[in-house]
Homo-oligomer: A and B are copies of this chain.
């Protein structure tokens, strides 16, 4: 075992950290939050040019050919440095498409940043694939998709949607041009202006469809969850670091607040939580990367890490007090991402149900 990044991974992370510390700051985040694209086009281009979006895509498709662990290292560091969410979403959705079809012709465009893909899974009725109603129909060569997808990240800012749909009795993914007739996006803002959309597909022409088994869908979702775990550990690392710095610097009652035992112990618990969460997360990421079957440890990581991130943020907010509460502070961006990542990719209840079933049934 070696619960640490390799030298190469560390170099990658340092490069990311360098760029983001120059290009991302709270004022810009706040500005982007109020722009339609929720992100700076120049930064988007830079990130694509550096190969971040394509890192895990096959080399034949213009990608870096790296495995999921490397992509997770990238994502962890991007999350730490508060890369705008649409760009993190671009890395995510590219991974989803490559998982379904490593030779899809859209991949080079995604890698280069010329195209952006949105991943449309959940529906207004819920998150259980068995209940999804979006469906493919029509003869070969003239296939269309009908249905409604909810809370699709970057629905409006993307060029193509990767839509999970029923195809008769089985599952398929449809690539749909966001601008094709029949696609209507109702833009929605989530936490902190996070861009999402409800998307209606009315006989929307399908660019291409990818037949997928239920296992393929599950594989896509597991990898998405793995990347969410990496986002969470990255966020936690940043939040812990800024809190340690703050309590060492902030004075009250004539001393650094770090000197108060109650403050010190809260930092200690943040540290313990982060340390355990990081290893739980990375054990699962590396196992998924290695193609291991889903296990209780994976469900444990899902159940634990999201809650850990929220707890760490909550303590950080408490220790920062008013200073961390202004909209310009980095901390609140992490606090929003903690809850929204948790809700979307690491809800606790289903993970606990899975653990219980594995142990008791």
Task: Give the chain B neighbours of A359 by CB distance below 8 A.
Answer: none
Interface residue? A261 (CB, 8 A): yes
Interface residue? A265 (CB, 8 A): yes
Contact with B along A246-268 (1 / 0, CB 8 A): 00000000000000111001000
Number of copies: 2
**Contacts of A78-129 to chain B: CB distance below 8 A:** none
A107 to chain B, nearest CB (A): 48
Task: Give the chain B neighbours of A262 by CB distance below 8 A.
Answer: 261-262, 265
A263's closest neighbor in chain B, by CB? B261
Task: Give the chain B neighbours of A265 by CB distance below 8 A.
Answer: 262
In the docked arrangement, what's the CA distance between A261 and B255, Å?
A: 15
In the docked arrangement, what's the CA distance between A261 and B265, Å?
A: 10
A223 to chain B, nearest CB (A): 36
In the docked arrangement, what's the CA distance between A260 and B262, Å?
A: 9
Contact with B along A30-74 (1 / 0, CB 8 A): 000000000000000000000000000000000000000000000
A265's closest neighbor in chain B, by CB? B262
Contact with B along A148-183 (1 / 0, CB 8 A): 000000000000000000000000000000000000
A266 to chain B, nearest CB (A): 10
5 A-B pairs, CB-CB below 8 angstroms? Answer: A260-B261, A261-B261, A261-B262, A262-B262, A262-B265
Q: Shortest 5 CB-CB distances between A and B: which pairs?
A: A261-B261, A261-B262, A262-B265, A260-B261, A262-B262
